[in-house]
Amino acid sequence: MVAFVIVALVFVIIIALVLWNNPKKLAKSIIIKQPETSNLPGKNIRISVKDAEKYYLKGISDPAMSTDLDMAIINGGKYIYISQERLDLLEARLKQRNGFDNDLAKLTQLKYNAHTFEKDKMLNEAFEAYKVLITFAHNSPYLQINSYSHDMNRFRIVSNKLKKKEEYEKFMSTIKFDH
């Protein structure tokens, strides 16, 4: 029993030393390289690691693709294989993510403009900027009300300062909320 414990301890120490000195070499020796034709090329599509990384970096890849990508990078592969259905799903997710990112960037710019006008005491310009901001955010298919609810409150405050309560109420009545 004691001999078994000593042998196991020595084995663990050797593995730890190998990992400490060169973890990639050990990882490459443990992972068995599969030939690229093993993924049923008739049903799967070959995409480059660089193209696959764009899904991974946007946070839209699924766990299976992440594993395939990790193995390809560790093994020095240049391609991974995925089904057409997975690729279509990833493209749809990427399109939605890019749409959200673009609309959020535009919303941020509109917020900056409105807040700057308000800060500089240019309340009429701030009032109009908040109207543009709320209209844009409300009509965006990617943004939700929590993205601009604070600005709706600031819009109300600016309208009260300008004594434009009727114009505020008229504008807000045109906004239809699904909540």
**pLDDT given for residue 59 in this prediction:** 84
* Digit-coded pLDDT (tens) for 161-173: 999 999 999 999 9
Spatial contact of 177 and 134, defined as CB atoms under 8 Å apart: no
Q: What is the mean pLDDT of the chain?
A: 81
28-57 tens-digit pLDDT: 444 434 434 334 455 788 888 888 888 888
Report the b/e string of 140-156 with b at 16+ CB within 10 A. Answer: bebbeeebbeebbebbe
C-alpha–C-alpha distance, residues 4 and 149, integer Å:
66
**CA–CA distance from 116 to each of 97, 111, 123, 162 (Å)?**
28, 8, 10, 17
CA–CA gap between residue 82 and residue 63 (Å, rounded): 12
The whole-number pLDDT of residue 10 equals 62
Predicted local confidence at residue 22, as pLDDT: 54
- Mean pLDDT of all residues in 99-120: 95
88: pLDDT strictly greater than 50: yes
